[in-house]
Amino acid sequence: MNILICDEKKEFVNEWKGRILKFIPNDQYIKIQSCTSVQEAEEMVNDIPFDIAFMDTEVNGESTLELVKDLRAQNHHCAIIFVSNHYEHISQSFEIRAFQFLFKDIDDEILESELERATQLYIKHKARCVLHTMEGIETFLPDEIYYIETRNRKTKMMTKRGEFYGEVENMKKLKNNLLEFGYFQIHQSYFLNLNSILSVRKGEVQLVNDEIIPTSILNRKEVKEKLEDFLKRP
């Protein structure tokens, strides 16, 4: 998940970067980019499709409305969160469908709540897993899936709702999106949600649903490192 922070004061940018990191789950991969001018932000937006953007309504006297257009051109679902003390811009921010308008002195409880809402929006649009089955379309969020198994071009998703069989339009894209949610190619056939691991054994792992999944021989070292990192998490 890519996050942008844009404000003319460097100390504010650094403070908010620290506050945001405090409320991001440990298993969520994020990259935060920060800047102190609209021009610098526009250069970043040309290279990075941001998912969440925190910005003042004006930076160094320059409106950020054009920046909003650029952000949405790169990612239509980008959550724009204005962080400003320009009270007169509140109505204007909602006219352009900003996700939220926050004052700069908000407490951590409000920030945590709004960041959670923005993160859920990101998950809904980017990380939703769509499986085309014989009965229709099934959709899952990352934390609902134990693993994705592929064999002979057939896909099985083992989930908290049961097992489902079907096809995924773009498996490579789906896997890339799920990497930041704690997924790993633990075996040639299994793309596993590491959060579903109950215990680790030699050559296999046991999941919370009591299934036993084999680990790969070819990339055993990498698998071992991933599992060790997982076990060290709080």
CATH code (residue 227):
2.40.50.1020
Contact 81, 6 (CB under 8 A): no
For residues 9 and 109, membership in a common domain is answered with yes
Helix axes 108-126, 10-23, angle to 10 degrees: 70
Domain boundary among 64, 98, 126: 126
pLDDT at 89: 75
- 17 and 119 within one domain: yes
- Mean pLDDT per 10-residue section of the chain, whose length is 234 residues: 93 91 70 93 91 92 89 87 84 81 90 88 77 90 91 90 92 86 88 87 86 77 71 60
| CATH number, position 63 | 3.40.50.2300
Residue whose pair of structure tokens reads 């215990």 in the numeric block:
199
Residues 122, 174, single domain; the answer is no
In the structure encoding, which two tokens stand for residue 225, read together?
Answer: 């490192």
Same domain membership, residue 121 and residue 142: no
Q: Is the pTM of this model over 0.85?
A: no
Q: Do residues 120 and 138 share a domain?
A: no
77 shares a domain with 30: yes
Yes or no: say if 157 and 114 are a contact pair by the CB < 8 Å rule.
no
Co-location of 86 and 40 in the same domain: yes
How far apart, in whole angstroms, are the C-alpha atoms of residue 29 and residue 182? 8
What residue type is 193 in one-letter code? N
Using the 3D structure, point to which of 104, 126, 148 is the last residue of a domain: 126
Q: Looking at the structure, tell me whether residues 6 and 122 fall in a common domain.
A: yes
Q: What is the pLDDT of residues 62-78, one digit of tens each?
A: 988 889 988 988 888 88
Number of structural domains the chain divides into: 2
Of 126, 158, 192, the one marking the end of a domain is: 126
108 and 137 inside one domain: no
Termini Cα distance of the chain: 21
Q: Quick one: 134 and 198 in the same domain? A: yes
Contact assessment for residue 54 and residue 3, using Cβ atoms and an 8 Å cutoff: yes
Q: What is the DSSP string of 158-204?
A: EETTEEEEEB-S-HHHHHHHHGGGTEEEEETTEEEEGGGEEEEETTE
Same domain, 170 and 116: no
Task: Say if residue 87 is in the same domain as residue 120.
Answer: yes
The predicted structure's pLDDT at residue 226: 73
**Alpha-carbon distance values, 8 to 11, 105, 149, 193 (Å):** 9, 16, 48, 40
Residue 183 belongs to what domain range?
129-232
